[in-house]
Amino acid sequence: MDPSRKRKIRLVVALSVAVLLAVALVYTSFSASSEAKEPSQLIGVSSGGSYEVTGRVVKRSVRHHGEGISFRVADRENAAQSIPVTYTGTIPDPFRGGREIVLAGTMKHGVFVGERDTLVTKCPSKFTTNSSDE
Amino acid sequence: MTAGLGSAVLALAFLIAVFAAVAALIGRDGNRRWIDISRRALYGLFALLTLCVVIIEIAFASDDFSFNIVQQHSSIETPTFYKLAAMWSSQEGSLLLWAWVLSIASSLALYATRNKLREIVPYATAVMAGIAAFFTGLMLFAGGVNPFAKLSPAPLDGIGLNPLLQHPSMMIHPPMLYSGYVAFTIPFAFAIGALITRRLDAAWIRSTRRFALIAWAFLGFGLLLGARWSYTELGWGGYWAWDPVENAALMPWLMGTAFLHSIMVQEKRGMLKVWNACLIVATFSLALLGTFLVRSGVLQSIHAFGDSTVGPYILGLIAVVLVGSTGLIVSRLDDLRSEKRIDSLASRESVFLVNNLLLVALVVAIFWGTFFPLISELFTGDKSSLAAPWFDRYTTPLAIVLVLFTGIGPLLAWRRVSWDSAKRVFLVPAIVGALAGLGLALFTDAGGKPWALALFAFAAFALTGLAQEFWRGAAARRSLHGGTMPASLVAVVARNRRRYGGYIVHAGIAVLLIGIAASSSFQTKQDVRLRPGQSAVVDGYTVTYVRPTAKVDKLAFTAGAALRIEKDGKSFLLHPTRRFYRPTGVEGGTISNYFAGESDSEIGLRAGFLRDFWTALQPSIVGIQRHARAADKGFEACVSGAPGTPPQCRAVSQLMRAAAANPSLRPTALAQIESLQVATAQRIAQGYLSEDAIATFRVIVNPLVTWIWIGGLISLAGALIAIWPARGARRRPAADTELEALKEAKYREIRDAELDHAAGKLSDEDFALLDAELRKEAVEILDAEQPAEPV
C-alpha cells in the first residue's frame, strides 16, 4: 500500500475513534446527570424525581437526631425560599448553618430526602465569625 | 505605613512589567541593548515582587491587623507557621503568589537563555512580562484584590485561619499547584516566540523543556498533597472526588504529560510540530482555567472560595491566549511541517503518539464532565451535573491502557524496531504480566473486578519491563567499563538522567495506579453506631468502642474515642477525634459557642503497606447541646446576678457592671468570663464522658492505599533526576549557544542508540542502520557550522 493511502486510512480511523468518543460523552452525560435545582424550584413538588439540590443551609435550622440530621436549605440568593431536608450519612466537617451545600436525593411528601453520603459542603477559605448556629 | 509602601512597590512592579514587555518588543530585531534592558527589567520585577511578599509576610508575622489580608486570614492565636502560610489562603495573596512565582520562573528562563535563541527571546520576554503585568495590574485595578488594602482603625485581632486548612500539607499544596500552573508560562512564552519568528526547530523546546518538567513535577506534587490532605483531614476517607477544582488541576497535568512526551518526538525527529504548539497552548490555557475555576465560583465545587471579582478578567486572558495562539499557529502551518515521517508503527515515536491521543482523550472527557453543568444549561436550561461514576466510566479504561503504554514505550527504540529485538525485550515482561493476571484471578478475589485485574496485569508488565531496562542498561555498562552491578547501575542512571529519570516516573505512576485500583475496588467502608463497650465486625476486624474521651481548652472542645481493633489475636488502638472550634474574633459569647464554630476530624489511622485501617468519629452531640443550652441559661442568670446563684457569679456580675462603666476593667472581666466558660465546658465534657452516648464511626479498610503516596513520591524522585543537569553540562559552558546545544543533542542521540544496542533493544542490523543515519545528521550539523551565526 502506498504511504499516502496508508496515512489517509490512519487518519480516518483516528477521526472515527474521536467521533465515537464524542458521541459517547454526549450521550452518557445527558442520561447520567441529575438535575441541579435550587430549593425554590422544589417548593410544591410533593414526591418523586431525582435531583441535586444546591443552596444555603438556613441558620439555626440544623437538628441532630439519633442517626441523622434535618435542616432547611434555602436559595443562595434568597433566604426566604427554603425546603426541609432530612439526611443520614457522613456529615462533612465544614457543614453548618449558613454554608452552601450540594445534596443528591428525592422528594417525599414535600421533604427533600438526601441520598446517603452525598452531602457536599463547600469549603470556605475564610472563617465566618458571627454566623453561629447549633 | 508599610501598606502604603507595599502598594507603591506593587504599582512599580506593574510599571516595570509593562516596560519590560515594551523594551523587549523594541529590541525584537536583534537590538542587544534593549533585549538586555528588558531582561534586567524582569530581574527587577522579581526583586520588587519579592519585596511585596516580604512586606506581607512581615505583616502576618507581626500581627499587623491594619492589613485587611492579615485581619481576614490570621489571628494572634494562629500558630506562626500558619501565619506565614496564610498569605495564599486569600485571593489577593494567591494572585501575588502567582505573579511572584512567574517573576522567579521568567528570570530563571531568561538567565538560562541569555546567549541563546536571539530571535525568539524578545517575544518570549514580551509574553512573560505581559502576563506578569496582567496579574500585577489585576491586583491594582480589579478592585477588592489589592493585598495591601488597609483597615482603619486597625482591629485588635484577626478572624484567624480556618482550622481545616491548618494542616501542613494544605500549606504546601497551593504554592505547589500555583508554581506548576505558572511554570507552564515559560514553554508557552517561548513557543509563541518561536511561532512569531518562524524559528520552529526544536531549539525553543531544548531551552524550555526543563521548565515544562518542573511545572509538571510541581503540579503533580500539589495534586498528591491535596489528595493526601483530603484522605487524612476531611473525615471522608477518599482522596479524589472529581470535584471541578481537582479536575482543573489534573487537566493541565495530563496535557503537560502529553506535551513532555511529544516534544521528544520533535527534538529527535522534527515531527509533531503543530501538535506540540497546540499542546502547550492547551496546557497553559488549562492552567489559567485552573486559576480561574478556583476563584470564580462558576461551578459548584467544594473549593468555592467566595465570590470573586477577578474571574471575568482571567476568562478574558484565556480568550486572548486561545484566539491569539490559534491564529498564530494557523498562519504558520507551512513552517510547522514535519521534517520527517514516522518510519514504522513499531517505534517509540508512534507509541508516544498513541499515548498523546489517550491523554488528550482523557482531558477531553474530564473537561466535558467538569463543564457539563454549563453545557447542559446551554442546551436544556437546567444545570445538571455529573457525579464520580460518570468520570470513572471514562477514566478507568483510559488509565488502564495508559499503564500498558508506560510499559511499552520504554521497551521500544526510536525510529524502528525489528521483530527479533521486539521479541527479546517483550518476552519476560509479557510473561510476568500474564502470570500476575492469572495468579490474581485464580487466587484472590481480583477475578471479580476485571478492570482492576487488567490494571494489575498491565502494571506488572510495565514494572517488569522497566526493571529489565535498568538491568540491561547496567549490564551493558558493566560489560563496557567493568565494575560491580550496583555501581554500573548508578553510573548508567547518572549518565542518562533524562531516560532513566523518565523510567522511574513511569514506575511511580504504575505503582500509584495499582494503589488507586486496589483501594477503590477492594475497600470495605462501613458506618457503625456504637455505645462505649460495644463492638462491631468490619471486614474481619473486631472494632470495640473502648471509651469516650473529651478535652476542653480555650480553642476547642475535642470529643474523641478510644477504639480497639482486633484480628487474629493481634490488636491495636486508634483515637479518632472531632474538634469543635470556638469561633475566634468574638469576644465573650455563650457556652454553646463552643459547638457553633468549625469542626474538623482527626482521623484514627493505622497505615500499612498492605492495608490502611481508617476511622473517623462522629460523636452524637445531642446531649452536649442540651447541656450547653442549659449552661447558657445558667450562665445568663449567673452574670445577671439573679438570686440564688453561687457567690462567684455575683463577683463576676459586679466585675461586668464595673467594666461597663470603666473600659480599663474590660480585659479582666473578659478573662474572668472566659475562665468561667472553660470551667463550664469542662463540666459538660464530664457529662459527655459519663452519659455513654452513642457515636457513629466510619471505618474503612483500604488495601494498598499507601502505595498511592509511595508511587507519587517515586515519580517525583524520577522527575527530579530527569530535571537535574548532567554533570558534564554543569561544568561545560558550551551548551550556552544554540548550535552547541544542537550538537550536544545529536551526540546524545548517538549515545542513546549505542546504549539501546548494548542493552539488546536494537538488533545489530537496526543499530547499524540507525547509527549511520545519526552520524550523517551529525555531519550535516557540523557542515552547517561553517557559516557560523554571530556568537
| ipTM of the complex in this document | 0.74
CB-based contact B598 A127, cutoff 8 Å: yes
Per-residue pLDDT at B758 exceeds 90: no
Q: In chain B, which among 666-695 make CB contacts under 8 A with chain A?
A: 694
CB-based contact B583 A125, cutoff 8 Å: no
Q: What is the pLDDT of residue B122?
A: 93
Q: Which carries the bigger pLDDT value, residue A86 or residue A127?
A: A86
Amino acid at B62: S
CB-based contact B160 A127, cutoff 8 Å: yes
User: Residue B135's closest CA among B146, B148, B124, B150?
Assistant: B146
Using a CB–CB cutoff of 8 Å, tell me whether B235 touches chain A: yes
Q: How far apart are CA B308 and CA A46, in angstroms?
A: 36
Per-residue pLDDT at B305 exceeds 70: no
Highest mean pLDDT among B360-364, B418-422, B686-690: B360-364
Of how many residues is chain B composed? 791
Q: What is the pLDDT of residue B181?
A: 92
Binning pLDDT at 50, 70 and 90, where does residue B296 land? Answer: low
**Joined grid coordinates for residue B760:** 539488546
Of B325-339, B587-601, B669-683, which range is least confident?
B587-601
| Mean pLDDT in residue range B184-189 | 95
State residue B678 phi and psi, 5-degree precision: -60, -40
**A52 three-class SS:** strand
Are B750 and B775 a contacting pair, CB within 8 Å? yes
3-state SS of chain B: helix, strand, coil percent to 5? 70, 10, 20
Q: What is the pLDDT of residue B303?
A: 55
Binning pLDDT at 50, 70 and 90, where does residue A129 land? Answer: very low
Burial of A44 (C-beta count, 10 Å sphere; 0-12/13-18/19+): exposed
| Mean pLDDT in residue range B24-37 | 89
Binning pLDDT at 50, 70 and 90, where does residue B302 land? Answer: low
CB-based contact A90 B364, cutoff 8 Å: no
Per-residue pLDDT at B307 exceeds 60: no
**Nearest CB partner across the interface for B304, out of A25, A28, A122:** A122
Q: Most B CBs within 10 Å: which of A125, A126, A128, as the mutation test of the B interface?
A: A125
Q: What is the pLDDT of residue B107?
A: 95
Using a CB–CB cutoff of 8 Å, tell me whether B367 touches chain A: no
Q: Which carries the bigger pLDDT value, residue A42 or residue B456?
A: B456
Q: Which carries the bigger pLDDT value, residue A56 or residue B252?
A: B252
Q: Which carries the bigger pLDDT value, residue B588 or residue B779?
A: B779
Are B348 and A4 a contacting pair, CB within 8 Å? no
Q: How far apart are CA B671 and CA A119, in angstroms?
A: 39
Residue B252 C-beta-side C-alpha neighbours within 13 Å: 37
Q: How far apart are CA B63 and CA B669, in angstroms?
A: 24
Contacts of B235 in chain A (CB under 8 A): 90, 92-93
Q: Which carries the bigger pLDDT value, residue B303 or residue B151?
A: B151
Q: How far apart are CA B619 and CA B529, in angstroms?
A: 10
**b/e code B313-352 from CB counts within 10 Å (16+ = b):** bbeebbeebeeebeeebeebeeebeeeeebbeebbbbbbb
User: Residue B199's closest CA among B30, B32, B321, B20?
Assistant: B30
Are B124 and B207 a contacting pair, CB within 8 Å? no
Query: Which H/E stretch holds residue B334?
Result: none
Binning pLDDT at 50, 70 and 90, where does residue A132 land? Answer: very low
Residues ≥6 apart with Cβ < 8 Å to A78: A40
Are B339 and B349 a contacting pair, CB within 8 Å? no
**Nearest CB partner across the interface for B235, out of A25, A93, A134:** A93
CB-based contact A122 B301, cutoff 8 Å: yes
3-state SS of chain A: helix, strand, coil percent to 5? 25, 35, 40
DSSP, residue by residue, B301-313: -S---S--SSHHH
CB-based contact A122 B698, cutoff 8 Å: no
Q: How far apart are CA A81 and CA B740, in angstroms?
A: 70
Q: How far apart are CA B518 and CA B239, in angstroms?
A: 13
**DSSP single-letter state for residue B154:** P
**Nearest CB partner across the interface for B390, out of A22, A32, A130:** A32
What share of chain A has pLDDT > 70, as a percent? 87
**Nearest CB partner across the interface for A132, out of B386, B593, B625:** B593
Per-residue pLDDT at B788 exceeds 90: no
Q: How far apart are CA B269 and CA A98, in angstroms?
A: 59
Using a CB–CB cutoff of 8 Å, tell me whether B527 touches chain A: yes
Beta strands (DSSP E) in B369-515 are 384-385
Q: Most A CBs within 10 Å: which of B598, B620, B624, as the mutation test of the A interface?
A: B598
Contacts of A133 in chain B (CB under 8 A): 596
Q: Most A CBs within 10 Å: which of B242, B303, B353, B383, as the mutation test of the A interface?
A: B383
Q: In chain A, which among 75-94 make CB contacts under 8 A with chain B?
A: 89-94
Using a CB–CB cutoff of 8 Å, tell me whether A33 touches chain B: yes
Of B208-222, B377-391, B466-480, B580-594, which range is least confident?
B580-594
**B416 three-class SS:** coil
| Mean pLDDT in residue range B573-593 | 72
Using a CB–CB cutoff of 8 Å, tell me whether A31 touches chain B: no
User: Residue B359's closest CA among B405, B411, B418, B422?
Assistant: B405
Q: How far apart are CA B591 and CA B383, in angstroms?
A: 42
Q: What is the pLDDT of residue B52?
A: 95
- Whether the CA torsion B322, B324, B327, B332 is positive or negative: it is negative
Using a CB–CB cutoff of 8 Å, tell me whether B396 touches chain A: no
CB-based contact B306 A96, cutoff 8 Å: no
Q: What is the pLDDT of residue A125?
A: 46
Residues ≥6 apart with Cβ < 8 Å to B671: none
Q: How far apart are CA B346 and CA B711, in angstroms?
A: 29
Q: Which carries the bigger pLDDT value, residue B66 or residue A98?
A: B66
Query: Which H/E stretch holds residue B292?
Result: helix B273-296
CA distances to A64, B629, B632, B687 from B636, rounded to whole Å, are: 25, 11, 6, 20
Contacts of A122 in chain B (CB under 8 A): 300-304
**Joined grid coordinates for residue A10:** 490512519
Binning pLDDT at 50, 70 and 90, where does residue B715 land? Answer: very high
Binning pLDDT at 50, 70 and 90, where does residue B42 land? Answer: very high
**Joined grid coordinates for residue B279:** 499542546
User: Residue B129's closest CA among B79, B192, B219?
Assistant: B192
Residue B607 C-beta-side C-alpha neighbours within 13 Å: 11
**Joined grid coordinates for residue B775:** 552520524
Per-residue pLDDT at A1 exceeds 70: no
DSSP, residue by residue, B538-593: ETTEEEEEEEEEEEE-SSEEEEEEEEEEEETTEEEEE--EEEEEPPSS--S--SGG
**b/e code B15-31 from CB counts within 10 Å (16+ = b):** bbbbbbbbbbbbbbeee
Report if pTM > 0.90. Answer: no
Q: What is the pLDDT of residue B59?
A: 93
Highest mean pLDDT among B232-241, B522-531, B772-781: B522-531
CB-based contact A33 B593, cutoff 8 Å: no
Query: How many A-B residue pairs are in contact by the CB < 8 A criterion?
Result: 138
Binning pLDDT at 50, 70 and 90, where does residue B312 land? Answer: confident
**Nearest CB partner across the interface for B300, out of A25, A54, A132:** A54
Q: What is the pLDDT of residue B17?
A: 96
**Nearest CB partner across the interface for A125, out of B165, B372, B527:** B165
CB-based contact A92 B165, cutoff 8 Å: no
For B622, name the nearest residue in chain A, comparing CA atoms only: A64
Amino acid at B256: G
pLDDT tens-digit readout, B479-497: 888 888 999 999 989 888 8
Highest mean pLDDT among A16-20, B287-291, B458-462, B733-737: B458-462
Mean pLDDT of chain B: 86
Are B584 and A127 a contacting pair, CB within 8 Å? yes
User: Residue B639's closest CA among B625, B651, B627, B626?
Assistant: B651
Q: How far apart are the first and last CA of chain B?
A: 49
Per-residue pLDDT at B625 exceeds 80: no
Instruction: Find cell 496535557 and name the residue.
Output: B255
pLDDT tens-digit readout, B56-113: 999 999 988 889 888 888 888 888 888 888 888 888 888 899 999 999 999 999 998 8
**Joined grid coordinates for residue B267:** 527534538
**Nearest CB partner across the interface for B583, out of A124, A125, A132:** A132
Q: What is the pLDDT of residue B787?
A: 53
